[in-house]
Amino acid sequence: MSLNIGVVMDPIAHIKPWKDTTLAMLLEAQRRGWTLHYMEPADLYVRDGRVFAVTRDLAVRDDNQDWFTLGEPAPRDLTGMDMILMRQDPPFDAAYLYATYLLEKVEREGVLVANRPASVRDSNEKLFATDFPQCCVPTLVSGRAALLREFVKEQGDTVMKPLDAMGGTNVFRIEPGSANLSVIIDVLTEDGKTPIMAQRFVPEIKQGDKRILMINGEPVPYALARIPKEGEFRGNLAAGGTGEGRELTDRDRWICEQVGPTLKRKGLYFVGLDVIGDYLTEINVTSPTCVRELDRIFDINIAGQLFDALLELK
């Protein structure tokens, strides 16, 4: 079966091919004989109510020096696609918001978009985790300095982070009595105008921040534990962490059972849960990563599992 697969992503020339999950998906789609059509968010447009994009045919290779070839740009009616992968990285800014609106129009015409644009738009990766308080450490979301200071006084060692960043950007660990508490709050909240997230620090981060991948509400049975580098508390690979493969624990599976039905109902077909120790900290719905690392460690094909699941939905 030959399919036309569109991918909306950040510039493919700038990815790190040896670790890029979108490339893993594209390689699997090409292995299946599917035709790939590449577009960036700025390529999407609406003409007389129909959604088009300036697309380019794409060929990919598993080569860290030479991983793609693009054809000539040409306008294409996106309702002719069989499936569109929405793989744009945060931050979730105005351009990202508009892309969800346009892809939602395509979805209404019967094209499968993964993940569902409206659900991506409505599921902030930090706030979404608070829908499952039974899985989380004590958490506060607020822009009010007094509430944030009281939370630190109550919880002790605390992590504060913005709601719209990724890769460990602007994540602060604050210990009781820190002289920098007020300035950190002022900077992160933009002097009280923007809410942020505060969570009790989980010391088990030393054993890794686990990324658990969910496919249509069901977990891949292995996680990538991202171990912080020496002198660092953030496990993100972008912050210098190293990845170590782990089988899911009973607690991990319980968290997946709590979250999975909601993901399936929302059409969030491919999601990354972040779990530290026994606690869910974030739910990544935009462009979850770690496929290539897990595939290498456990000799599996996560992109293949994802496409098999998506084909069952068509």
Q: What CATH number is associated with residue 192?
A: 3.30.1490.20
Maximum C-alpha span of the chain? 63
Residue 270, CA distances (Å) to 113, 163, 213, 273 in order: 11, 20, 7, 10
Residue 279 domain-assigned (yes or no): yes
Comparing CA positions, the residue from 51, 50, 31, 47 lying closest to residue 39 is 51
Last residue of a domain, one of 149, 168, 201: 201
Range of the domain at 288: 204-313
Catalytic residue positions, numbered: 126, 161, 211, 226, 234, 274, 282, 284
Q: At what angle do helices 302-313 and 21-31 cross, to 10 degrees?
A: 70
E-strand ranges in 4-88 read 4-9, 35-39, 44-47, 50-60, 68-70, 74-77, 83-87
* Site of tokens 């460690």: 297
Last residue of a domain, one of 186, 201, 216: 201
Are residues 223 and 296 located together in one domain of the fold?
A: yes
- Which pLDDT tens digit goes with each residue over 29-85? 999 999 999 999 999 999 999 999 999 999 999 999 999 999 999 999 999 999 999
- Which tokens hold the place of 188? 């992160």
Residue 132 domain-assigned (yes or no): no
Q: What CATH number is associated with residue 67?
A: 3.40.50.20
Count how many domains the chain has. Answer: 3
For the chain, where are the alpha helices, taking DSSP H only? 21-31, 94-108, 117-122, 145-155, 181-188, 250-266, 291-298, 302-313
- pLDDT for position 91: 80
- pLDDT for position 233: 65
Q: How many whole angstroms separate alpha carbon 4 and alpha carbon 83?
A: 7
Residue 123 domain-assigned (yes or no): no
Are residues 43 and 85 located together in one domain of the fold?
A: yes
Task: Please tell me the pTM assigned to this model.
Answer: 0.93
- Which pLDDT tens digit goes with each residue over 120-164? 999 999 999 999 999 999 999 999 999 999 999 999 999 999 998
Residue 229 domain-assigned (yes or no): yes
**Chain Cα centroid distance, residue 76:** 27
- Which pLDDT tens digit goes with each residue over 77-129? 999 999 999 999 988 888 999 999 999 999 999 999 999 999 999 999 999 99
Are residues 252 and 166 located together in one domain of the fold?
A: no
Are residues 287 and 211 located together in one domain of the fold?
A: yes
- Which pLDDT tens digit goes with each residue over 172-221? 999 888 888 999 999 999 999 999 999 999 999 999 999 999 999 999 99
Are residues 74 and 161 located together in one domain of the fold?
A: no
Are residues 33 and 75 located together in one domain of the fold?
A: yes
Are residues 22 and 107 located together in one domain of the fold?
A: yes
Last residue of a domain, one of 148, 178, 201: 201
Are residues 273 and 223 located together in one domain of the fold?
A: yes
Are residues 279 and 196 located together in one domain of the fold?
A: no
Q: How many whole angstroms separate alpha carbon 164 and alpha carbon 91?
A: 6
Are residues 11 and 110 located together in one domain of the fold?
A: yes
Are residues 236 and 305 located together in one domain of the fold?
A: yes
Are residues 13 and 110 located together in one domain of the fold?
A: yes
Q: What CATH number is associated with residue 253?
A: 3.30.470.20
